[in-house]
Amino acid sequence: MNTVTELLQPVENDLDDLILELKNLIGAGHPILQAAAEHLFSAGGKRLRPGIVLLISKAISPGFNLTSKHKRLAEITEMIHTASLVHDDVVDEASTRRGVDTVHSRFNTRVAVLAGDFLFAQASWHLANLDNVNVVKLLSRVIMDLAEGEIKQNLNRFDSAQSFSKYINKSYCKTASLIANSCKAAGVLSNLTDEKLTSLYNFGKNIGLAFQVVDDILDFTGNDKQLGKPAVSDLASGYLTAPVLYALEENKKLSVLINRELAEKDDLDDALNIIMNSKAIESSRKLAEDFALLSKEAIVWLPDSEYKRALLALPEFVLSRIY
């Protein structure tokens, strides 16, 4: 499976229905928000997060069927993810995402902030209407994690002394928490045992961390089209990711450049040369591979189906982006 479309083929029709339903759910009665929602949900994107929820939901169902509550969980997952992207783009002052104008650049910052807030509010409303307090707790934690991750990321800019555990924790909050807790929530809705719920959570957490490490590698090795943003933008913004932290362990000169916030003319190029001439990318690939393997091991107990096979192919797809 070489593309997201191929990977998510078993739930392709369900994803098409999901996007139509999202456009109906969001912005009704609010013309500007409706326009923003149309823009957001028509902009493409991988739909990987709701796709994973749908694959998990079908894989754990005795008849591989999808209940209305599982469908709504997938919709809520995409609402939360999209809301976080809208706010992230405002914070990062990004004009485009994957070649499409961001909400604040197409409309304005006020509309973008309100659209993000409205999406979070809508997600919370539909979450409450699932009438399952444990699922509410899981997805509410995600919204807290997203905010916490963004705060941590911005407070630790250009901090060459930050620990690797801080980086992993920030990555969990910003990327892995949503996948981990939505996978677990799918299991809660199916009344799975605590052991199986933990397995689903671990699958989501580790695939999310693998995905984030791969994205961090691509900031150095990818092109603008792959990234959906300018290459090396994370480093230029002072966000220290796995490759930077590994390179810092090898070459202390890098910390000098980072501590002065890459302020001098050739600092960014010098920092990039240090990173690319170290073992940082290789070490980061190994880290991503470790997370990917853990994610596969977490779902071996699932009964055989096209949905399980797609889930087991996901780690290889994530890693394929860096090879």
**pLDDT tens figures, 11-57:** 999 999 998 888 777 755 666 766 666 666 665 556 899 999 999 99
Place of tokens 């890098």: 254
Domain spans of the chain, in order of start: 4-321
Instruction: CATH number for 4-321: choose from 1.10.600.10, 3.40.50.720, 2.60.40.1230, 2.40.50.100.
Output: 1.10.600.10
- Residue spans of beta strands (DSSP E) within the chain: 96-97, 100-101
Report the pLDDT value the prediction gives residue 182, as an integer from 0 to 100.
98
- Mean pLDDT, all residues of the chain: 89
Distance of alpha carbon 115 from alpha carbon 143, whole angstroms:
15
- pTM score, two decimals? 0.91
Place of tokens 């991503």: 288
Per-residue model confidence as pLDDT tens digits over 246-278: 999 999 999 999 999 999 989 999 999 999 999
Share of the chain above pLDDT 70, in %: 85
Nearest by Cα to 143 from 162, 168, 126? 126
More confident residue, 154 or 256: 256
Please state the rounded mean pLDDT for residues 61-83.
93
Q: Which residues lie below 8 Å from residue 162, measured CB to CB, with a gap of 6+?
A: 156, 240, 245
Q: Are 56 and 183 in contact (CB under 8 A)?
A: yes
- For residues 28-66, one letter each, b for 16 or more C-beta atoms within 10 angstroms of the residue's C-beta and e for the rest, the string is eeeeebebbbebbbebebebbbbbbbbbbbbbbbeeeeb
Report the pLDDT value the prediction gives residue 99, as an integer from 0 to 100.
59
pLDDT at 1 over 70: no
Distance of alpha carbon 305 from alpha carbon 258, whole angstroms:
49
Torsion angle of the four alpha carbons 15, 12, 320, 203, in this order, in degrees rounded to the nearest 10: 60
Instruction: Give 96's strand partners.
Output: 101
